[in-house]
């Protein structure tokens, strides 16, 4: 029993799947599988179920992703590299990574500020803000694109037209990644023991000093996790960006759009090469987050 | 959970907060201003644009033959994907939580992979395997099956992107429940299926509902992966998200906005419903 009913957490954690990348399995359970193997687990049901699940995941996920990597290497390593570094693909990749880093860092700051305001501040309408902060996760990405286009597009009533610019890519990515940092930082902030802050304050620490020396160090792992997840999401985003950016080669074409264009122009090797790069970057980030989580666990 | 202070810790913070109203209102202003500009205002605008001439135009835009077919295709694809994910999601969660077998950690990692893959890459991956020139392409074609550029491919793409949602909703609740009751049922002579239906399923009901709502919301709105494998045949393989794109290309903004608002309302509804189920699934444990 980790959460009492009606605990504050029920109200704040949104569609937690992305934010809650923690696996339900504790690592300590893994070494024990040999020991327990001959117990209840040798039941026929397990093998059948395991067989079916493995088959399903193989045909749905493993073989297709393997095919992407295999296809990208089908003409050898140098051909792979040539495909990745064609001027158009290379520009798209650089643009994607640069903007995604910027968006992730901006999220790091704004997400933490929003989480702080949601936890420590109180204002009328807070419950509504709480609820709709998750909207970017629930909203289809193409709808996110339409939504932004309606206010910041060519027929903008606010006379702010960002369509077909790099700003549009940035805004679209900020929109779809908005909840990541908020939703990872918020639970940590709620559980943070306020007695520490009270103690520091009673010893004469300024609010700034308390924020820097007590609050921030406790939030850093969650902040980094949210930022990493936002980055991984940003590099692969397609729907909202393709609608807003105009997809001008060398100017506003991101990697996902570049891959799409290569599929359409019948260059599967090039598309697979660019995809492989995106896959590797995303996996490296997720692996680093996994390390970070373990480090946080050991430290705490 | 962090221990709650002996009392007065809230008061202390509040007092400190009141002493620094500039910082407090400053942060509030920045956070809410950002949310207004990025989220609230654009969403409000799309609703205004769609509803500015009343419900009539929306109704007629969503009842054209093309729109009706898009709604139908969306429902078929999404529901098929959700059924697949529910069956295999519950199965996977049971295996991960209740069983010990070699490679369990690998399976655990595998379930989360779809989150890290761009939707476009998902589409490409499926084409490379099930397309005309893919791994199984010639076999599939010989047997007269069509996967890519038709509904089965769209179902696969949708199932891929929403794969982790049911597993990750159900698994934590299963883990917290423990298996004492299931074992008790077994010793009393219940079969595996009886145990699952009478003991396990009722206790994970809310968590499963939460996962299904998340899955359905994701499936109804999938765009990137589906656009690659659909082939965009109007009236046949156009989902609502693809319909929005197609209408925008044809400068039919009213239809695009109507469909966008329909999907936005579904998204908001799913937020509200999923929150309820999530709270209830937590309170059962």
pLDDT digit string (tens) for A166-193? Answer: 999 999 999 999 999 999 999 999 998 8
Using the Cβ of A71 and the Cβ atoms of chain B, whether some distance falls under 8 Å is answered with yes
Using the Cβ of B96 and the Cβ atoms of chain A, whether some distance falls under 8 Å is answered with yes
Please indicate whether residue B11 or residue B145 has the higher confidence score (pLDDT). B145
Among the partner residues B2, B42, B119, nearest to A151 by beta-carbon distance = B42
Question: What pLDDT is stored for residue A23 in this prediction?
Answer: 41
- pLDDT greater than 70 at residue A113: yes
- pLDDT greater than 90 at residue B66: yes
**Closest listed residue to residue A122, CA positions, set B42, B10, B35, B272:** B10
- Judged by CB atoms closer than 8 Å, whether chains meet at A2 and B256 is answered as no
Question: What pLDDT is stored for residue A3 in this prediction?
Answer: 34
Among the partner residues B92, B174, B264, nearest to A139 by beta-carbon distance = B264
Give the pLDDT band of residue B72 (cuts 50, 70, 90): very high
Question: What pLDDT is stored for residue A203 in this prediction?
Answer: 92
Q: Which one of A88-102, A114-128, B137-151, B181-195 scores highest in mean pLDDT?
A: A88-102
Q: What is the C-alpha to C-alpha distance for residues B214 and B278, in angstroms, rounded to an integer? A: 10
- pLDDT greater than 90 at residue A46: no
Give the pLDDT band of residue A102 (cuts 50, 70, 90): very high
Its ipTM equals 0.88
Signed CA dihedral, B212, B217, B221, B225: sign only:
negative
pLDDT digit string (tens) for B140-160? Answer: 888 888 899 999 999 999 999
Give the pLDDT band of residue B125 (cuts 50, 70, 90): very high
Give A 172-231 residues with CB within 8 A of chain B.
174-175, 178, 191-195, 197-198, 201, 207
Q: What is the C-alpha to C-alpha distance for residues B177 and A105, in angstroms, rounded to an integer? A: 39
Question: What pLDDT is stored for residue B19 in this prediction?
Answer: 54
- Judged by CB atoms closer than 8 Å, whether chains meet at B91 and A279 is answered as no
Work out the burial of residue B213: count CB atoms within 10 Å of its CB; fewer than 13 is exposed, 13-18 middle, 19 or more buried: buried
Using the Cβ of B229 and the Cβ atoms of chain A, whether some distance falls under 8 Å is answered with no
- Judged by CB atoms closer than 8 Å, whether chains meet at A50 and B99 is answered as yes
Backbone angles phi, psi at A13, to 5 degrees: -85, 125
Among the partner residues B121, B123, B175, nearest to A278 by beta-carbon distance = B121
By the 8 A CB rule, do B260 and A147 touch?
yes
Neighbours of A45 (CB within 10 A): 15
DSSP code string of A133-167? TTHHHHS-HHHHHHHHHHHHSTT-TTS---TTSHH
* Closest Cα in chain B to A56: B88
DSSP code string of B182-237? HHHHHHTT--HHHHIIIIIHHHHHHHHHHHHHHHHHHHHH--HHHHHHH---TTTT
Signed CA dihedral, A193, A195, A199, A204: sign only:
positive
Q: What's the mean per-residue pLDDT of chain A? A: 85
Q: What is the C-alpha to C-alpha distance for residues B150 and B229, in angstroms, rounded to an integer? A: 7
Section A274-297 average pLDDT: 89
- pLDDT greater than 60 at residue B9: no
Q: How far away is chain A from the Cα of B94, in angstroms, using its nearest Cα?
A: 9
Residues on chain A touching B161 (C-beta within 8 angstroms) = none
Question: What pLDDT is stored for residue B32 in this prediction?
Answer: 96
Give the pLDDT band of residue A43 (cuts 50, 70, 90): low
Work out the burial of residue B6: count CB atoms within 10 Å of its CB; fewer than 13 is exposed, 13-18 middle, 19 or more buried: exposed
Give the pLDDT band of residue A34 (cuts 50, 70, 90): very low
Q: Which two tokens stand for residue B52?
A: 């500015």
Q: What is the C-alpha to C-alpha distance for residues B204 and A218, in angstroms, rounded to an integer? A: 33
| Exposure class string for B149-185: b at 16+ Cβ within 10 A, else e | bbbbbbbbbbbbbbbbbbbbbbbbbbbbbebeebeeb
Residues on chain B touching A118 (C-beta within 8 angstroms) = 31
pLDDT digit string (tens) for B78-119? Answer: 999 999 999 999 999 999 999 888 888 889 889 989 988 999
Using the Cβ of A286 and the Cβ atoms of chain B, whether some distance falls under 8 Å is answered with yes
DSSP 8-state secondary structure symbol assigned to residue A27:
G
- pLDDT greater than 60 at residue A22: no
A204 in the Ramachandran plot: left (φ > 0), alpha (ψ -120 to 50) or beta? left
- Judged by CB atoms closer than 8 Å, whether chains meet at B28 and A121 is answered as yes
Q: How far away is chain B from the Cα of A144, in angstroms, using its nearest Cα?
A: 8
Give the pLDDT band of residue A15 (cuts 50, 70, 90): very low
The percentage of residues in chain B with a pLDDT greater than 70, rounded to a whole number, is 92
The percentage of residues in chain A with a pLDDT greater than 70, rounded to a whole number, is 83
Residues on chain A touching B163 (C-beta within 8 angstroms) = 60-61
Q: How far away is chain A from the Cα of B124, in angstroms, using its nearest Cα?
A: 7
- pLDDT greater than 50 at residue B14: no
Give the pLDDT band of residue B280 (cuts 50, 70, 90): confident
| Residue B101 three-state SS | coil
Question: What pLDDT is stored for residue B23 in this prediction?
Answer: 82
Using the Cβ of B36 and the Cβ atoms of chain A, whether some distance falls under 8 Å is answered with no
Q: What is the C-alpha to C-alpha distance for residues A247 and B206, in angstroms, rounded to an integer? A: 43
Q: How far away is chain B from the Cα of A40, in angstroms, using its nearest Cα?
A: 8
Q: Which two tokens stand for residue A281?
A: 């970057």
- Judged by CB atoms closer than 8 Å, whether chains meet at A150 and B100 is answered as no
By the 8 A CB rule, do A225 and A292 touch?
yes
Question: What pLDDT is stored for residue A206 in this prediction?
Answer: 87
């Amino acid at each position: 029993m980790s959460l009492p009913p009606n605990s504050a957490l029920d109200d704040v954690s949104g569609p937690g799947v992305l934010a809650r990348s923690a696996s339900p399995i504790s690592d300590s359970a893994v070494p024990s599988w040999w020991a327990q193997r001959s117990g209840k687990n040798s039941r026929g049901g397990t093998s059948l179920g395991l067989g079916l699940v493995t088959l399903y995941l193989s045909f749905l996920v493993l073989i297709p992703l393997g095919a992407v990597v295999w296809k990208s290497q089908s003409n050898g390593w140098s051909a792979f590299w040539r495909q990745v570094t064609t001027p158009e693909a290379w520009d798209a990749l650089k643009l994607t990574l640069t903007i995604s880093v910027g968006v992730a860092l901006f999220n790091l700051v704004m997400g933490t500020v929003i989480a702080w305001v949601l936890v420590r501040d109180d204002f009328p309408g807070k419950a509504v803000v709480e609820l709709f902060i998750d909207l970017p996760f629930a909203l289809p990405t193409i709808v996110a694109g339409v939504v932004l286009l309606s206010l910041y597009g060519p027929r903008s009533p606010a006379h702010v037209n960002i369509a077909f610019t790099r700003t549009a890519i940035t805004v679209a990515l900020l929109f779809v990644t908005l909840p990541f940092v908020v939703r990872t930082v918020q639970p940590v902030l709620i559980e943070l023991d306020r007695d520490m802050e009270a103690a520091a304050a009673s010893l004469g620490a300024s609010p700034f000093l308390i924020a820097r020396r007590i609050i921030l160090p406790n939030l850093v792992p969650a902040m980094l996790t949210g930022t990493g997840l936002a980055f991984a999401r940003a590099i692969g985003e397609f729907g909202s960006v393709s609608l807003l950016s105009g997809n001008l080669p060398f100017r506003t074409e991101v990697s996902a759009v570049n891959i799409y264009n290569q599929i359409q122009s019948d260059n599967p090797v090039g598309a697979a090469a660019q995809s492989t790069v995106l896959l590797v970057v995303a996996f490296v980030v997720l692996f680093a987050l996994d390390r970070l989580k373990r480090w946080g666990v050991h430290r705490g | 959970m962090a221990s709650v202070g002996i009392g007065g810790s809230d008061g202390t913070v509040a007092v400190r907060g009141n002493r620094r109203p500039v910082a407090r209102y400053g942060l509030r202003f920045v956070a809410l201003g950002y949310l207004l500009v990025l989220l609230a205002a654009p969403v409000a605008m799309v609703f205004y644009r769609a509803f500015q001439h009343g419900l009539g135009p929306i109704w007629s835009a969503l009842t054209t033959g093309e729109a009706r077919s898009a709604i139908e295709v969306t429902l078929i694809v999404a529901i098929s994907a959700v059924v697949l994910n529910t069956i295999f999601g519950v199965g996977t969660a049971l295996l991960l939580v209740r069983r010990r077998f070699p490679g369990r950690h690998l399976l655990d990692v595998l379930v989360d992979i779809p989150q890290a893959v761009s939707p476009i890459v998902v589409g490409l991956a499926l084409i490379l395997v099930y397309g005309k020139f893919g791994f199984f392409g010639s076999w599939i074609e010989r047997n007269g099956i069509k996967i890519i550029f038709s509904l089965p491919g769209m179902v696969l793409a949708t199932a891929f992107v929403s794969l982790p949602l049911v597993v990750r909703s159900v698994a934590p609740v299963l883990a917290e429940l423990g298996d004492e009751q299931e074992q008790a049922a077994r010793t009393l002579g219940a079969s595996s299926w009886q145990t699952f239906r009478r003991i396990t399923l009722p206790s994970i009901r809310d968590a499963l509902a939460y996962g299904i709502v998340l899955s359905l919301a994701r499936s109804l709105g999938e765009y990137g992966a589906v656009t690659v494998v659909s082939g965009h045949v109007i009236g046949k393989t156009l989902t609502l998200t693809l319909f929005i794109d197609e209408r925008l290309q044809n400068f039919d903004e009213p239809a695009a906005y109507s469909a966008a608002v329909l999907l936005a309302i579904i998204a908001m509804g799913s937020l509200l419903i999923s929150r309820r189920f999530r709270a209830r699934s937590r309170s059962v444990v």
